[in-house]
Structure 1
Amino acid sequence: MSATPLATDGTARAESRTDSRWFYAWLVVVLGLLAFAVVAGWNAAGGTVDPTDAGRTLSRTTVVVNSAVLVLREGLECVLVLAAITAGLRGPAAGQRRPIAIGGGVALLLSVVTWFAAVWVIGAFGGTGLNVQAATGIPAILVLLVIMNWFFHDTYWTGWIKRHNRKKKGLLHADAGSPRLLLGLGLLGFSAVYREGFEIVLFLQSLRVGYGSSVVLEGVTLGLLFTTAAGIVTFVLHRKLPYKKLLIITFALLVLVLFVMVGEQVNEMQLAGWIGTSTFWDSPGWLGTWFSVFGNWETVIGQTVAVGAVVGSYVVAREVQVKGPQRRARRAAAGA
């Protein structure tokens, strides 16, 4: 007696779920092994810095984790944008994903070139002196503050995605396979990836100047591993990840990274003689090494202003986008 179509469909779905579970399991195992290899590389290079060692401001572990968080945060957004603009390219239109992938690959390579260009430019203006360390951190912190401010507004990810989707829809009106369509889709993928790559390069320069490329690249490797895992789940398994929750989690981590970066930046400016030091507390050395917490007013004020700007942005955005409209709706309902 032959199997019914319903039974056949049920068997196929069960086999698909089993295959997915095995794939997830192998993905976790491979990711864990690769992460272990990177961590083992830290120890092979001398391990993490002694928290009581005053020769460094931040510990090796702190620098690696900060680098990884920055890469993962931008990488998740890149995956989200690419997933959004390729979501409708299925069936006969599936081939149009290729120029987007090629554009993204070119952007990834150009991001690597941008890294070496940034290293060269910074080196040409003074090597690894304290003045260079202090100067490279300023634009990175400013951009990070701007991104965190945009985080609480639709223009940050939904607006960015909408712009890409509008460009995609406009391009798809062209004849399939036309040079204009292929070039446009390629540029779409390029812009989605290179924007994040450029920001990562900018963010990491201050850490690289202060602690060396090898330490920063360890964090970059970890961040790329987890970003690649998210990409595989999205584009190979075609599973929809809880992107918003992931972005919120990494955003919370970025607040801590911002706190550390601002403390480090103010400390470097003090060491370079740009600003004074008004000590009010003899803070333990390990606080400075792990969290850039120093017992002087300049550092405390800088960190408070930075975190206050982020929290204030959240309060204002929530008032404008949620609380305000809710109050107006209640008043309108009460007056009706």
Structure 2
Amino acid sequence: MKKKFSLLVLLVVITVLTTACSMKSAGGSTKPDDVIDIVWYPNESGSDMKSSRDEIANVIEESTGKKVEHHLTTDYAIAIETIVNNNADVAFMGAQGYIEAHKGNEAIKPLVVPTGPSGTLEDAVYHSWLAVNADAQETFKKDGEFSLDTIEGKKMSFVSGFKVPAADILNPFTQQEKYADLTEMDLMKGGSLFSKVLFGNSHQGSAVNLLKGNADVAAFCDTCVENYVEVVEGKENTVGAVYQVQDDAAEPFDQVTGKKFTLMSVTPVLNAPFVANVDVLGQEDLDKLQNVFTSGEVANNEEIFVPEDSGKSGLFFKTGKERFAAVKDSWFDPIRDLSN
């Protein structure tokens, strides 16, 4: 009994200390200092993205006179909480991640987003995919056309955040009496719509789940896998297009070189933003970063916007007039509307 009581006291003390540390982190000093901390999602934390991360750091250091420190992550939630709790100045995150971060801390503001090939925000989108293994694609067709009805009972792989693919899946199924009450939470676990649900923790990880045979269907996006795959049939970002993993693909795709997958669903999504915690970064440095990021110098920096035909890996590619553009919070309202 005494031992149990001691353990209980210990747990209470740990809980109090953890809560206190969390509160200190979230509510502590936010005075700008001489270091700019950037937190990266798992998708951009790989070694193949190092040159792009380093060049972005160089630009920030030159424009602010401050040192940049990178914080690489293996979990979306950790990246979001890092900037929400005032432990990072800048982050590169998806639109949904930004919305969650802004809801948690209103000091988090959009800095810039990469434009589309037009050099404007009109085509500033990437594409959310639902993909299946190429040799199993007929399983997912009705009358010769891909149909989401066919994913019922299958093994599904999501990334981590999955607002867009969830909306794509819920729309047709909730029209059926059997699934009228189906929710996002139901999609996260096996036994509701899917027989099993996996999470890749990154877009690359979700794709590899599919190609290794651990999942029948996987959600991931085009920009996060374009360094590793190439179109071998059809037109890129169209239903029915077949992609193949390159023979020299970097990890984690080095485990599945030569494997092919087919797109059964393609949905345009607003481009991912760089965001800043203005309380930590300071308005002066935010203005400096916005000015330099949207400059022609950065737009023409081939270490940041890598020429598409260069064969190099990168965070952003130049296929036309791509550059960074400033946006306001309201630009992300179409993603917010998915929850309404």
TM category (shorter chain) comes to under 0.3
Larger gyration radius, structure 1 or structure 2: 1
**Structure with higher helix content:** 1
**Structure with higher strand content:** 2
The two structures have a TM-score, normalised by structure 2, of: 0.23
The two structures have a TM-score, normalised by structure 1, of: 0.23
Higher RCO, 1 or 2 (CA under 8 Å, sep at least 6)?
Answer: 1
